[in-house]
Structure 1
């Protein structure tokens, strides 16, 4: 989830404006024949036998390390299968959310897309019949045993798109993800501060950092998705994993519960105290990250997809930690895995699409991802990053969060409209246009209406 800004390929640039009216979308396979969308049809690994194929792929792998990895993997796939040409369209996360449905419903949809899990995107696409179930390919390629069941469930939906984490498999993911706190080791050391492990310890460092003249948290939310992460890690560490998991999956709880409101209060207090970048709602995520990378802030809250970028900028000064509840030694944070690689029902060559997905997500691809500064969904058992490095921090925190059952879903999965509701509400919260209580009530209004329909 959650990338930066880029269009890849001249076709994307030519069609960008026209996509707004769905008049032009990068197409699927250029060879003729009816679309093969039934998961009950025989499936095959024979890519060469498909003849000449142009495979159109939409992704949001625009950040430095993952963009490098995707480029290498695409080139390697084309080298292995010279009959296949990949047309890559790479967009930011927010741009992908805006344009992907239009592309999927066009006359020439892409073959492979990255679909965000949860109700807003994957659930909507499934209910609209736009994604092909991949259970047969999961058996063919062994995805059903390679991936932990918990991660497979995040990419599952009932055929009507109403029940998340059960039913058919609609994709597999390439990267593991958790959101945490990147920190500047030199800044903390100079101020005599220990690396915080809990939300209380983190909060206790903020006034001392501010009084030193250093910005505590480099934060920009013009794209709105960073706000989900800011609130998400705070709520996770305040409420705990069980409460947040039950809330997002509609098992129990409400967004007006005391713990969720208390998390909102913390976020607003940080903004009031000047612990966040001033005017953050008008600052881009990339600019905030650049400030942190330049040593202008002690912390930056972001996902593990920024590993390569931060490591390149700060080198040995960079650290990463996932916070836990006060009194706990287990980190609890938001995350899971990268967007699911899905096959569209409009693809004329689903076998080739499935082979591509397997190629960019399998054990060999995991090593390419590691070599380019990324966290693969299933890291190799013998992966041991250099001790003390940012890579080691990320690997250790990923293992600790999973081992301690401290992983909670991204909050925007909660309802079909929750991404817009939550991201707008966080902006109003940090701008002091909503009280924490009203913030919770605004989220609950969206959530409650949806839960009633389930």
Structure 2
């Protein structure tokens, strides 16, 4: 079966994936005596109009028809799941299947705490290791310490993702701004907008967007070895190094110049995204998960471009399907995962603004979706996926947000923030690695 170019590009990342040693949990020899085989309790945080939301809604229909079981679906927000996962999954009310964030600090942490079921038997049964490129498997497997890249399968992705610029073509044309091709072009464009009384960047410092911009700035000065040090603990990371110093100082400079609004300290990702949709801001630096929503909600003409002048960007496999240890219907959960990886479901993702991982190339017909996938192929073709800034430790997401908020409101200098973040990062890594 002919796969999409996406898989071919992703396969090139396999050689760079660092395989970590650790104790495998073996197969998924879970006690399934409590399964009733009648109801699948499913949680995820994708909106109904998103690419994944559409594909999974159709997957529910197929699942119910093929199994005779019913799906009890509860939509949760990303923050709801992130903040309550350990408590929810460690209770008798745990769902059978949940969409969860990938990485050491999230899926890896839950796996190391014994809250997720290993899926090795299901991987072999359904052949998921043949469907998914090796580079995607990096975020699906975790060792006994919860470090990604080796050990048992504790999650399965069915889409990819990355971070890029979304831009309002109408505003660019109105103010005579061209799509930037270099860092200097980008700053010139922002200066032009600011001079016209328009804040260039829609931002959120209360949640992930500003942290991802900060990480992108660091990546613009980084290479793969720096990413391996930061993400996989290959070597200690100095938070006074060129990469991080540049990132934090630039956030401060852009705030002082009016490129980022000080109001971003209290804005959530949804606030920034909807403000961009409304036409208030010319640019929004965020993930491919917004793409499908913009196609349906944005009235003004818009487009995308990768961060100019950088070889790497935040990105990885998509979030994971994980099966809680206390799930009551694990067999049904595994069946549902497999349905989401079928070519027809992958085509729904690909034609609605998502990045499929097991699609047939001929099934992707939507022009904007082809653009989205082409940008992703550009990144993967140059080994340009740098993962995400909060992955290394379980507490770094909140710590990074707090640090950047203090930069925006002027309560801390970039040097002070870097020192604090460096200590928090080191403490977090030590807690993981011992």
Deviating 4+ runs (over 4 angstroms): 383-387
| Per-residue Cα deviation, 1:36-92 (whole angstroms, up to 9, x for no partner) | x98354999xxxxx864211112121363133333222223212222x111112211
Cα separation, 2, equivalents of 1:183 and 1:235: 22
Cα separation, 1, equivalents of 2:48 and 2:370: 20
Specify which of 65, 68, 73 is matched with residue 79 of structure 1.
65
Cα separation, 2, equivalents of 1:286 and 1:122: 23
User: Is 1:91 paired with 2:62?
Assistant: no
Cα separation, 1, equivalents of 2:173 and 2:364: 26
Q: How does 1:15-54 map to 2 (within 5 A)?
A: 39=27, 41=29, 52-54=37-39
Cα separation, 2, equivalents of 1:41 and 1:414: 29
Match of 1:4 in 2: none
Report 1 or 2 for greater relative contact order, CA contacts < 8 Å, sequence distance ≥ 6.
2
Match of 2:53 in 1: 67
Specify which of 230, 242, 260 is matched with residue 213 of structure 2.
230
User: Is 1:243 paired with 2:226?
Assistant: yes
Deviation at 1:204, TM superposition (A): 2.4
User: Is 1:414 paired with 2:361?
Assistant: no
- 8 Å CA contact 1:131–1:343 kept in 2: the answer is yes
- 8 Å CA contact 1:183–1:319 kept in 2: the answer is yes
Match of 1:115 in 2: 100
Query: Relative to structure 1, is the Cα distance of residues 40 and 341 closer, same or farther in structure 2, using a 3 angstrom cutoff?
Result: closer
User: Is 1:127 paired with 2:107?
Assistant: no
Specify which of 374, 390, 394 is matched with residue 396 of structure 1.
374
Q: Does the residue aligned with 2:74 lie in a helix, a strand or coil?
A: strand
Query: Relative to structure 1, is the Cα distance of residues 241 and 393 closer, same or farther in structure 2, using a 3 angstrom cutoff?
Result: farther
User: Is 1:256 paired with 2:234?
Assistant: no
Q: Does the residue aligned with 1:182 lie in a helix, a strand or coil?
A: strand
TM-score normalised to structure 2 length: 0.86
Match of 1:313 in 2: 297
Match of 1:9 in 2: none
| Per-residue Cα deviation, 1:170-195 (whole angstroms, up to 9, x for no partner) | 11112211011101122223333321
- 8 Å CA contact 2:47–2:53 kept in 1: the answer is yes
Q: Does the residue aligned with 1:130 lie in a helix, a strand or coil?
A: coil
Cα separation, 2, equivalents of 1:394 and 1:220: 23
Deviation at 1:213, TM superposition (A): 2.6
- 8 Å CA contact 1:55–1:353 kept in 2: the answer is yes
Cα separation, 2, equivalents of 1:376 and 1:296: 31
- 8 Å CA contact 2:219–2:243 kept in 1: the answer is no
Match of 2:342 in 1: 362
Cα separation, 1, equivalents of 2:43 and 2:331: 17
Deviation at 1:298, TM superposition (A): 1.0
Q: Does the residue aligned with 1:268 lie in a helix, a strand or coil?
A: helix
- 8 Å CA contact 1:227–1:427 kept in 2: the answer is no
Where in structure 1 are there 5+ consecutive unaligned residues?
1-36, 45-49
Q: How does 1:426-445 map to 2 (within 5 A)?
A: 426-445=404-423
Deviation at 1:198, TM superposition (A): 3.6
Where in structure 2 are there 5+ consecutive unaligned residues?
1-24
Specify which of 189, 201, 204 is matched with residue 185 of structure 2.
201
Match of 1:374 in 2: 354
Cα separation, 2, equivalents of 1:235 and 1:385: 35
Cα separation, 2, equivalents of 1:63 and 1:275: 32
| Per-residue Cα deviation, 1:283-323 (whole angstroms, up to 9, x for no partner) | 23223222211222110111101111212234672111121
Specify which of 447, 450, 453 is matched with residue 425 of structure 2.
447
Q: Does the residue aligned with 2:115 lie in a helix, a strand or coil?
A: coil
Across the aligned residues of Structure 1 and Structure 2, the Cα RMSD in angstroms comes to 2.4
Match of 2:319 in 1: 339
Query: Relative to structure 1, is the Cα distance of residues 408 and 392 closer, same or farther in structure 2, using a 3 angstrom cutoff?
Result: same
Match of 1:33 in 2: none
Cα separation, 1, equivalents of 2:372 and 2:351: 14
User: Is 1:190 paired with 2:174?
Assistant: yes
Match of 2:40 in 1: 55
